[in-house]
Structure 1
Amino acid sequence: MSGLRVEERPDRLVVTLDRPEKRNAIDADLVAELHAVCAELEARPRLLLLTGGTEGIFAGGADIGQLRERGRLDALAAINSAVFARVRALPMPTVAAVDGPALGGGAELAYACDLRVCTARAVFGQPEVRLGILAGAGATHRLPALVGEALAKELLFTGRRVDAAEALRIGLVNRVVDDPAELLPTAHGLLDEMAKGSALALRLTKLAVDAPPAAHPHLDLVSQAVLFEDEEKRRRMTDFLERRRDR
Protein backbone atom coordinates (compact mmCIF):
# COMPACT_ATOMS: atom_id res chain seq x y z
CA MET A 1 0.00 0.00 0.00
CA SER A 2 1.26 3.48 -0.85
CA GLY A 3 -0.97 5.62 1.37
CA LEU A 4 -1.16 3.38 4.43
CA ARG A 5 1.29 1.50 6.61
CA VAL A 6 -0.21 -1.66 8.10
CA GLU A 7 1.27 -3.55 11.05
CA GLU A 8 -0.25 -6.90 11.91
CA ARG A 9 -0.34 -8.02 15.54
CA PRO A 10 -2.00 -11.17 16.86
CA ASP A 11 -5.11 -9.40 18.13
CA ARG A 12 -5.10 -6.13 16.14
CA LEU A 13 -4.12 -4.18 13.07
CA VAL A 14 -2.25 -0.90 13.43
CA VAL A 15 -2.99 1.23 10.37
CA THR A 16 -1.10 4.50 9.84
CA LEU A 17 -2.12 7.12 7.28
CA ASP A 18 1.09 7.76 5.34
CA ARG A 19 0.80 10.67 2.91
CA PRO A 20 2.87 13.26 4.80
CA GLU A 21 3.52 15.33 1.67
CA LYS A 22 -0.27 15.78 1.32
CA ARG A 23 -1.01 16.13 5.06
CA ASN A 24 -2.60 12.67 4.89
CA ALA A 25 -5.36 14.01 2.65
CA ILE A 26 -7.89 11.33 1.81
CA ASP A 27 -7.86 10.66 -1.93
CA ALA A 28 -9.35 7.89 -4.06
CA ASP A 29 -6.28 5.66 -3.68
CA LEU A 30 -6.35 5.96 0.11
CA VAL A 31 -10.07 5.15 0.09
CA ALA A 32 -9.34 2.00 -1.90
CA GLU A 33 -6.65 0.99 0.59
CA LEU A 34 -9.01 1.56 3.53
CA HIS A 35 -11.53 -0.70 1.81
CA ALA A 36 -8.83 -3.38 1.60
CA VAL A 37 -8.12 -3.03 5.34
CA CYS A 38 -11.84 -3.34 6.09
CA ALA A 39 -12.08 -6.46 3.94
CA GLU A 40 -9.24 -8.01 5.94
CA LEU A 41 -10.88 -7.17 9.27
CA GLU A 42 -14.26 -8.42 8.12
CA ALA A 43 -12.76 -11.72 7.03
CA ARG A 44 -10.65 -12.08 10.20
CA PRO A 45 -12.09 -9.83 12.92
CA ARG A 46 -9.54 -8.09 15.12
CA LEU A 47 -9.17 -4.78 16.92
CA LEU A 48 -8.07 -1.75 14.89
CA LEU A 49 -5.82 1.17 15.82
CA LEU A 50 -6.00 3.89 13.17
CA THR A 51 -3.53 6.76 13.35
CA GLY A 52 -1.66 9.38 11.42
CA GLY A 53 1.39 8.74 13.55
CA THR A 54 2.87 11.28 15.94
CA GLU A 55 4.16 13.78 13.40
CA GLY A 56 1.59 16.48 14.11
CA ILE A 57 -1.04 15.57 11.51
CA PHE A 58 -3.88 13.05 11.49
CA ALA A 59 -5.62 13.94 8.24
CA GLY A 60 -6.13 17.36 6.71
CA GLY A 61 -9.36 16.28 5.04
CA ALA A 62 -10.30 15.09 1.60
CA ASP A 63 -7.96 15.81 -1.29
CA ILE A 64 -9.36 19.20 -2.38
CA GLY A 65 -7.81 18.88 -5.86
CA GLN A 66 -9.82 15.72 -6.46
CA LEU A 67 -12.87 17.02 -4.62
CA ARG A 68 -13.07 20.14 -6.80
CA GLU A 69 -13.41 18.00 -9.92
CA ARG A 70 -16.12 15.69 -8.59
CA GLY A 71 -19.66 16.05 -9.87
CA ARG A 72 -23.09 14.95 -8.73
CA LEU A 73 -22.57 11.34 -9.78
CA ASP A 74 -19.40 11.20 -7.68
CA ALA A 75 -21.36 12.53 -4.71
CA LEU A 76 -24.03 9.88 -5.20
CA ALA A 77 -21.30 7.21 -5.37
CA ALA A 78 -20.57 7.89 -1.66
CA ILE A 79 -16.82 7.60 -2.20
CA ASN A 80 -15.71 8.64 1.29
CA SER A 81 -18.91 8.01 3.24
CA ALA A 82 -19.10 4.38 2.11
CA VAL A 83 -15.65 3.49 3.39
CA PHE A 84 -16.17 5.41 6.65
CA ALA A 85 -19.45 3.53 7.16
CA ARG A 86 -17.53 0.31 6.59
CA VAL A 87 -14.99 1.32 9.25
CA ARG A 88 -17.87 2.10 11.61
CA ALA A 89 -19.43 -1.33 11.00
CA LEU A 90 -16.26 -3.37 11.55
CA PRO A 91 -16.95 -6.38 13.79
CA MET A 92 -14.47 -5.49 16.52
CA PRO A 93 -13.81 -2.16 18.27
CA THR A 94 -11.68 0.54 16.69
CA VAL A 95 -9.60 3.36 18.18
CA ALA A 96 -8.43 6.49 16.36
CA ALA A 97 -5.19 8.02 17.67
CA VAL A 98 -5.15 11.66 16.58
CA ASP A 99 -2.13 13.96 16.65
CA GLY A 100 -2.58 17.43 15.19
CA PRO A 101 -5.36 18.44 12.81
CA ALA A 102 -8.25 16.12 11.95
CA LEU A 103 -10.27 18.26 9.57
CA GLY A 104 -13.13 17.63 7.18
CA GLY A 105 -12.96 14.05 6.00
CA GLY A 106 -10.11 13.44 8.43
CA ALA A 107 -12.38 14.31 11.36
CA GLU A 108 -15.15 12.17 9.86
CA LEU A 109 -12.76 9.22 9.67
CA ALA A 110 -11.97 9.69 13.38
CA TYR A 111 -15.70 9.90 14.19
CA ALA A 112 -16.21 6.57 12.38
CA CYS A 113 -14.01 4.85 14.96
CA ASP A 114 -15.52 3.70 18.26
CA LEU A 115 -13.09 5.61 20.50
CA ARG A 116 -10.71 8.52 20.02
CA VAL A 117 -7.46 9.37 21.79
CA CYS A 118 -5.61 12.57 20.92
CA THR A 119 -2.64 14.74 21.78
CA ALA A 120 -2.91 18.19 23.29
CA ARG A 121 -2.15 19.70 19.88
CA ALA A 122 -5.04 17.89 18.16
CA VAL A 123 -7.70 19.98 16.42
CA PHE A 124 -11.05 18.82 15.00
CA GLY A 125 -13.14 20.77 12.51
CA GLN A 126 -15.67 20.62 9.69
CA PRO A 127 -14.84 23.45 7.25
CA GLU A 128 -17.01 22.08 4.44
CA VAL A 129 -19.59 24.89 4.31
CA ARG A 130 -16.75 27.36 3.72
CA LEU A 131 -15.81 25.32 0.64
CA GLY A 132 -19.34 25.28 -0.69
CA ILE A 133 -20.25 21.72 0.30
CA LEU A 134 -21.54 19.88 3.37
CA ALA A 135 -19.84 17.36 5.63
CA GLY A 136 -21.23 14.43 3.68
CA ALA A 137 -19.10 11.55 4.95
CA GLY A 138 -20.73 11.00 8.32
CA ALA A 139 -20.41 14.17 10.40
CA THR A 140 -24.05 15.23 9.98
CA HIS A 141 -25.20 12.17 11.95
CA ARG A 142 -22.15 10.96 13.89
CA LEU A 143 -21.20 14.35 15.35
CA PRO A 144 -24.67 14.96 16.89
CA ALA A 145 -24.54 11.48 18.41
CA LEU A 146 -21.17 12.31 19.99
CA VAL A 147 -21.63 15.89 21.22
CA GLY A 148 -25.36 16.62 20.99
CA GLU A 149 -27.45 18.25 18.30
CA ALA A 150 -27.07 21.92 19.22
CA LEU A 151 -23.27 21.88 19.48
CA ALA A 152 -22.93 19.70 16.38
CA LYS A 153 -25.02 22.20 14.41
CA GLU A 154 -22.85 25.05 15.62
CA LEU A 155 -19.69 23.28 14.51
CA LEU A 156 -21.15 22.20 11.17
CA PHE A 157 -22.72 25.60 10.41
CA THR A 158 -19.70 27.71 11.36
CA GLY A 159 -16.72 25.48 10.61
CA ARG A 160 -15.31 26.38 14.04
CA ARG A 161 -12.39 24.23 15.14
CA VAL A 162 -12.33 22.34 18.44
CA ASP A 163 -9.06 21.98 20.34
CA ALA A 164 -8.11 18.96 22.42
CA ALA A 165 -9.27 20.38 25.76
CA GLU A 166 -12.72 21.18 24.40
CA ALA A 167 -12.89 17.86 22.57
CA LEU A 168 -12.38 16.05 25.88
CA ARG A 169 -14.89 18.25 27.69
CA ILE A 170 -17.66 17.72 25.14
CA GLY A 171 -17.05 13.96 24.81
CA LEU A 172 -15.60 14.01 21.32
CA VAL A 173 -12.48 12.18 22.54
CA ASN A 174 -11.90 9.68 25.35
CA ARG A 175 -8.34 10.62 26.33
CA VAL A 176 -5.90 13.50 25.80
CA VAL A 177 -2.15 13.07 26.27
CA ASP A 178 0.27 15.99 26.60
CA ASP A 179 3.27 14.19 25.12
CA PRO A 180 2.83 12.94 21.53
CA ALA A 181 5.15 10.04 22.42
CA GLU A 182 2.39 8.77 24.75
CA LEU A 183 -0.33 8.80 22.09
CA LEU A 184 0.15 5.32 20.66
CA PRO A 185 0.93 3.65 24.02
CA THR A 186 -2.29 5.18 25.41
CA ALA A 187 -4.32 3.97 22.44
CA HIS A 188 -2.77 0.51 22.70
CA GLY A 189 -3.53 0.52 26.42
CA LEU A 190 -7.24 0.96 25.67
CA LEU A 191 -7.10 -1.89 23.17
CA ASP A 192 -5.16 -4.03 25.67
CA GLU A 193 -7.98 -3.58 28.19
CA MET A 194 -10.52 -4.63 25.56
CA ALA A 195 -8.43 -7.64 24.59
CA LYS A 196 -8.71 -8.99 28.14
CA GLY A 197 -12.37 -9.73 27.48
CA SER A 198 -13.99 -12.44 25.42
CA ALA A 199 -13.65 -11.64 21.73
CA LEU A 200 -17.17 -12.88 21.03
CA ALA A 201 -18.65 -10.90 23.94
CA LEU A 202 -16.80 -7.81 22.74
CA ARG A 203 -18.06 -8.28 19.20
CA LEU A 204 -21.68 -8.79 20.25
CA THR A 205 -21.50 -5.85 22.68
CA LYS A 206 -20.40 -3.57 19.84
CA LEU A 207 -23.20 -4.93 17.67
CA ALA A 208 -25.75 -4.22 20.40
CA VAL A 209 -24.50 -0.72 21.19
CA ASP A 210 -24.52 0.27 17.51
CA ALA A 211 -27.95 -1.23 16.79
CA PRO A 212 -30.98 1.06 16.29
CA PRO A 213 -33.30 1.47 19.29
CA ALA A 214 -35.96 -0.72 17.69
CA ALA A 215 -33.57 -3.70 17.86
CA HIS A 216 -33.62 -3.68 21.66
CA PRO A 217 -34.18 -5.68 23.80
CA HIS A 218 -34.50 -8.47 21.22
CA LEU A 219 -30.90 -8.20 19.97
CA ASP A 220 -29.60 -8.15 23.56
CA LEU A 221 -31.54 -11.28 24.44
CA VAL A 222 -30.41 -13.23 21.38
CA SER A 223 -26.79 -12.10 21.84
CA GLN A 224 -26.85 -13.14 25.49
CA ALA A 225 -28.34 -16.51 24.53
CA VAL A 226 -25.43 -17.08 22.15
CA LEU A 227 -22.90 -16.10 24.83
CA PHE A 228 -24.53 -18.27 27.51
CA GLU A 229 -23.78 -21.32 25.33
CA ASP A 230 -20.21 -20.28 24.54
CA GLU A 231 -17.46 -22.40 26.09
CA GLU A 232 -15.39 -19.24 26.65
CA LYS A 233 -18.08 -17.97 29.04
CA ARG A 234 -17.97 -21.19 31.03
CA ARG A 235 -14.19 -21.14 31.24
CA ARG A 236 -14.02 -17.50 32.32
CA MET A 237 -16.70 -17.88 34.97
CA THR A 238 -15.10 -21.06 36.32
CA ASP A 239 -11.75 -19.26 36.58
CA PHE A 240 -13.45 -16.37 38.40
CA LEU A 241 -15.14 -18.67 40.92
CA GLU A 242 -11.95 -20.61 41.56
CA ARG A 243 -9.94 -17.44 42.15
CA ARG A 244 -12.54 -16.20 44.62
CA ARG A 245 -12.56 -19.58 46.42
CA ASP A 246 -8.76 -19.53 46.77
CA ARG A 247 -8.64 -16.12 48.43
Structure 2
Amino acid sequence: MIRTVTEGDTVTLTIDRTDKANSLTAAMLSDLADGVRAAVDARLLILTGTGPRVFSAGADLDEAPRGLAVSPLWEELSGAIAACPGLTVAALNGTLAGGAFGMALACDIRLCVPGASFFYPVAKLGFLPQPSDPLRLTRLIGPARAKLVLAGGVRLDAEEALRFGLIDRIVDDPLAAARDLAPGSCDHIAAIKAMIPDVPRR
Protein backbone atom coordinates (compact mmCIF):
# COMPACT_ATOMS: atom_id res chain seq x y z
CA MET A 1 0.00 0.00 0.00
CA ILE A 2 3.08 2.20 0.16
CA ARG A 3 4.96 2.21 -3.14
CA THR A 4 8.59 3.31 -3.27
CA VAL A 5 10.21 4.42 -6.52
CA THR A 6 13.84 5.48 -6.69
CA GLU A 7 15.05 7.35 -9.77
CA GLY A 8 18.63 8.48 -9.39
CA ASP A 9 18.76 10.74 -6.33
CA THR A 10 14.96 11.13 -6.14
CA VAL A 11 12.81 8.89 -3.94
CA THR A 12 9.01 8.95 -4.27
CA LEU A 13 6.80 7.39 -1.62
CA THR A 14 3.20 6.92 -2.77
CA ILE A 15 0.16 6.11 -0.65
CA ASP A 16 -1.77 3.63 -2.77
CA ARG A 17 -5.10 2.79 -1.17
CA THR A 18 -7.71 4.57 -3.25
CA ASP A 19 -10.52 2.23 -2.18
CA LYS A 20 -10.15 3.64 1.36
CA ALA A 21 -9.41 7.29 0.42
CA ASN A 22 -5.71 6.59 1.02
CA SER A 23 -6.38 6.30 4.76
CA LEU A 24 -3.42 5.08 6.77
CA THR A 25 -3.05 1.97 8.91
CA ALA A 26 -0.37 1.43 11.52
CA ALA A 27 1.52 -0.82 9.11
CA MET A 28 1.42 1.86 6.42
CA LEU A 29 2.74 4.50 8.83
CA SER A 30 5.61 2.19 9.73
CA ASP A 31 6.34 1.55 6.06
CA LEU A 32 6.34 5.29 5.33
CA ALA A 33 8.72 6.00 8.22
CA ASP A 34 11.02 3.21 7.09
CA GLY A 35 10.93 4.57 3.53
CA VAL A 36 11.82 8.07 4.70
CA ARG A 37 14.72 6.84 6.83
CA ALA A 38 16.00 4.73 3.93
CA ALA A 39 16.05 7.87 1.74
CA VAL A 40 18.77 9.51 3.83
CA ASP A 41 21.00 9.93 0.76
CA ALA A 42 18.25 11.23 -1.54
CA ARG A 43 18.52 14.80 -2.78
CA LEU A 44 14.75 14.89 -3.29
CA LEU A 45 12.11 13.01 -1.30
CA ILE A 46 8.53 13.25 -2.58
CA LEU A 47 5.41 12.12 -0.73
CA THR A 48 2.27 11.72 -2.83
CA GLY A 49 -0.90 9.66 -3.18
CA THR A 50 -2.84 7.83 -5.86
CA GLY A 51 -6.19 8.87 -7.23
CA PRO A 52 -7.58 12.19 -8.47
CA ARG A 53 -9.16 13.57 -5.30
CA VAL A 54 -7.55 12.50 -2.00
CA PHE A 55 -3.95 12.55 -0.80
CA SER A 56 -4.97 10.92 2.47
CA ALA A 57 -8.05 10.91 4.68
CA GLY A 58 -5.88 10.33 7.76
CA ALA A 59 -6.30 7.39 10.11
CA ASP A 60 -7.99 4.20 8.91
CA LEU A 61 -11.49 4.19 10.40
CA ASP A 62 -11.27 0.55 11.49
CA GLU A 63 -8.04 1.10 13.41
CA ALA A 64 -8.73 4.58 14.79
CA PRO A 65 -10.97 3.34 17.67
CA ARG A 66 -8.23 0.87 18.63
CA GLY A 67 -5.67 3.60 19.32
CA LEU A 68 -4.31 4.50 15.90
CA ALA A 69 -5.54 8.09 16.17
CA VAL A 70 -3.19 8.70 19.11
CA SER A 71 -0.39 6.34 18.08
CA PRO A 72 3.22 7.57 18.35
CA LEU A 73 3.70 6.30 14.79
CA TRP A 74 2.36 9.61 13.40
CA GLU A 75 4.98 11.56 15.31
CA GLU A 76 7.66 9.06 14.35
CA LEU A 77 6.84 9.60 10.68
CA SER A 78 6.75 13.40 10.80
CA GLY A 79 9.97 13.44 12.84
CA ALA A 80 11.72 11.27 10.24
CA ILE A 81 10.60 13.61 7.46
CA ALA A 82 11.73 16.70 9.37
CA ALA A 83 15.14 15.11 9.97
CA CYS A 84 15.64 14.18 6.31
CA PRO A 85 18.68 16.08 4.97
CA GLY A 86 17.39 16.27 1.39
CA LEU A 87 14.64 18.48 0.03
CA THR A 88 11.25 17.06 1.06
CA VAL A 89 8.11 17.80 -0.95
CA ALA A 90 4.48 16.91 -0.31
CA ALA A 91 2.92 16.53 -3.78
CA LEU A 92 -0.72 16.64 -2.74
CA ASN A 93 -2.89 15.03 -5.42
CA GLY A 94 -6.04 15.92 -3.48
CA THR A 95 -7.56 16.49 -0.07
CA LEU A 96 -5.40 16.36 3.06
CA ALA A 97 -7.21 15.43 6.26
CA GLY A 98 -6.64 14.52 9.88
CA GLY A 99 -3.43 12.89 10.99
CA ALA A 100 -2.07 12.96 7.44
CA PHE A 101 -1.46 16.67 8.03
CA GLY A 102 1.66 15.78 10.03
CA MET A 103 3.65 14.37 7.14
CA ALA A 104 2.81 17.33 4.90
CA LEU A 105 3.59 19.89 7.62
CA ALA A 106 6.97 18.25 8.18
CA CYS A 107 7.94 18.64 4.50
CA ASP A 108 9.99 21.57 3.24
CA ILE A 109 7.55 22.33 0.40
CA ARG A 110 3.86 21.61 -0.19
CA LEU A 111 2.31 21.58 -3.69
CA CYS A 112 -1.34 20.77 -4.38
CA VAL A 113 -3.93 20.40 -7.12
CA PRO A 114 -6.57 23.14 -7.57
CA GLY A 115 -9.39 21.03 -6.14
CA ALA A 116 -7.68 20.03 -2.89
CA SER A 117 -9.17 20.83 0.49
CA PHE A 118 -7.63 20.79 3.96
CA PHE A 119 -9.20 19.94 7.31
CA TYR A 120 -8.03 18.52 10.64
CA PRO A 121 -11.17 17.64 12.66
CA VAL A 122 -9.51 16.62 15.93
CA ALA A 123 -11.65 18.88 18.12
CA LYS A 124 -14.87 17.48 16.67
CA LEU A 125 -13.64 13.90 17.11
CA GLY A 126 -12.41 14.46 20.67
CA PHE A 127 -8.69 13.91 19.99
CA LEU A 128 -5.68 16.14 20.39
CA PRO A 129 -3.47 16.73 17.33
CA GLN A 130 -0.11 15.05 17.15
CA PRO A 131 2.36 16.94 19.40
CA SER A 132 4.45 18.60 16.68
CA ASP A 133 1.56 19.49 14.35
CA PRO A 134 0.30 22.64 16.14
CA LEU A 135 3.82 24.09 16.28
CA ARG A 136 4.55 23.39 12.60
CA LEU A 137 1.11 24.63 11.57
CA THR A 138 1.53 27.83 13.59
CA ARG A 139 4.90 28.50 11.99
CA LEU A 140 3.28 28.27 8.58
CA ILE A 141 -0.01 30.12 9.06
CA GLY A 142 0.17 31.91 12.42
CA PRO A 143 -1.50 31.22 15.78
CA ALA A 144 -5.01 32.52 15.07
CA ARG A 145 -5.33 30.60 11.83
CA ALA A 146 -3.89 27.47 13.46
CA LYS A 147 -6.66 27.71 16.06
CA LEU A 148 -9.18 28.21 13.24
CA VAL A 149 -8.09 24.92 11.68
CA LEU A 150 -7.43 22.82 14.78
CA ALA A 151 -9.94 24.14 17.35
CA GLY A 152 -12.52 25.51 14.92
CA GLY A 153 -12.38 22.60 12.49
CA VAL A 154 -12.53 24.94 9.49
CA ARG A 155 -12.06 23.37 6.06
CA LEU A 156 -9.78 25.32 3.70
CA ASP A 157 -9.89 25.12 -0.07
CA ALA A 158 -6.68 25.28 -2.10
CA GLU A 159 -6.82 29.03 -2.72
CA GLU A 160 -7.37 29.86 0.94
CA ALA A 161 -4.64 27.41 1.98
CA LEU A 162 -2.28 29.20 -0.41
CA ARG A 163 -3.20 32.62 1.00
CA PHE A 164 -2.71 31.34 4.54
CA GLY A 165 0.71 29.91 3.68
CA LEU A 166 -0.25 26.30 4.36
CA ILE A 167 0.77 25.35 0.82
CA ASP A 168 3.35 26.92 -1.46
CA ARG A 169 1.95 26.46 -4.97
CA ILE A 170 -1.21 25.24 -6.70
CA VAL A 171 -0.35 23.23 -9.81
CA ASP A 172 -2.23 20.83 -12.08
CA ASP A 173 0.32 18.04 -11.56
CA PRO A 174 2.08 18.33 -8.18
CA LEU A 175 4.13 15.18 -8.73
CA ALA A 176 5.54 16.46 -12.03
CA ALA A 177 6.20 19.87 -10.47
CA ALA A 178 8.04 18.20 -7.59
CA ARG A 179 10.15 16.13 -9.96
CA ASP A 180 11.05 19.29 -11.89
CA LEU A 181 12.86 20.62 -8.83
CA ALA A 182 16.61 20.32 -9.23
CA PRO A 183 18.29 20.51 -5.83
CA GLY A 184 22.05 20.34 -5.38
CA SER A 185 23.92 17.72 -3.42
CA CYS A 186 22.34 16.35 -0.27
CA ASP A 187 25.02 17.99 1.91
CA HIS A 188 24.48 21.33 0.14
CA ILE A 189 20.72 21.13 0.60
CA ALA A 190 21.12 20.27 4.29
CA ALA A 191 23.47 23.26 4.74
CA ILE A 192 20.99 25.62 3.07
CA LYS A 193 18.10 24.26 5.13
CA ALA A 194 20.14 24.85 8.29
CA MET A 195 20.66 28.49 7.29
CA ILE A 196 16.94 29.23 6.90
CA PRO A 197 15.32 30.19 10.23
CA ASP A 198 12.01 28.58 11.10
CA VAL A 199 10.33 31.87 11.95
CA PRO A 200 6.64 31.70 12.91
CA ARG A 201 4.26 33.52 10.58
CA ARG A 202 2.38 36.42 12.19
TM-score, length basis structure 1: 0.75
- 1:51 counterpart residue number: 48
Determine the C-alpha separation between the residues in 2 that align with 1:57 and 1:66: 19
List per-residue Cα deviations over 1:123-171 (Å, max 9, x = no partner). Answer: 1111011111011153211100100111111111111111100111111
- Residue from 94, 107, 118 that aligns with 2:112: 118
Largest Rg, 1 or 2: 1
Q: Counterpart of 1:155 in structure 2: which amino acid?
A: V
List per-residue Cα deviations over 1:85-143 (Å, max 9, x = no partner). Answer: 11111111100011221001122221111100001111111101111101115321110
Contact 1:54 1:183 in 2 (8 A): no
Q: Comparing both structures, which one devotes a greater share of its residues to strand?
A: 2
- Cα gap change, 1:211 to 1:122, in 2 (>3 Å): closer
Q: Counterpart of 1:58 in structure 2: which amino acid?
A: F
Determine the C-alpha separation between the residues in 2 that align with 1:137 and 1:81: 7
Determine the C-alpha separation between the residues in 2 that align with 1:110 and 1:31: 13
Determine the C-alpha separation between the residues in 2 that align with 1:210 and 1:63: 35
Contact 1:24 1:57 in 2 (8 A): yes
* Consecutive unaligned residues in structure 2, runs of 5 or more: none
SS of alignment partner, residue 39 of structure 2 = helix
Determine the C-alpha separation between the residues in 2 that align with 1:109 and 1:167: 16
- 1:15 counterpart residue number: 13
Determine the C-alpha separation between the residues in 2 that align with 1:68 and 1:134: 14
- 2:25 counterpart residue number: 27
How many percent of aligned residue pairs carry the same amino acid? Answer: 34
What's the C-alpha RMSD, in Å, of the aligned pairs?
2.0
Determine the C-alpha separation between the residues in 1 that align with 2:128 and 2:197: 24
Task: Compare 50-59 and 89-98 and name the one that shifted more.
Answer: 50-59
TM-score, length basis structure 2: 0.90
- Runs of at least 4 residues of structure 1 off by over 6 A? none
- 2:196 counterpart residue number: 209
List per-residue Cα deviations over 1:203-238 (Å, max 9, x = no partner). Answer: 1122343679xxxxxxxxxxxxxxxxxxxxxxxxxx
Question: Higher relative contact order by CA 8 Å / sep ≥ 6: 1 or 2?
Answer: 2
1:45-194 equivalence runs, <5 A: 45-70=42-67, 75=70, 78-136=72-130, 138-177=132-171, 179=172, 182-189=173-180, 191-192=181-182, 194=183
Q: Comparing both structures, which one devotes a greater share of its residues to helix?
A: 1
Q: Counterpart of 1:123 in structure 2: which amino acid?
A: S
Determine the C-alpha separation between the residues in 1 that align with 2:131 and 2:10: 25
SS of alignment partner, residue 32 of structure 1 = helix
* Consecutive unaligned residues in structure 1, runs of 5 or more: 213-247
1:228-247 equivalence runs, <5 A: none
SS of alignment partner, residue 151 of structure 2 = helix
The number of equivalent residue pairs is 199
- Cα gap change, 1:169 to 1:16, in 2 (>3 Å): same
Determine the C-alpha separation between the residues in 2 that align with 1:120 and 1:39: 30
- 1:4 counterpart residue number: 2
Determine the C-alpha separation between the residues in 1 that align with 2:138 and 2:168: 16
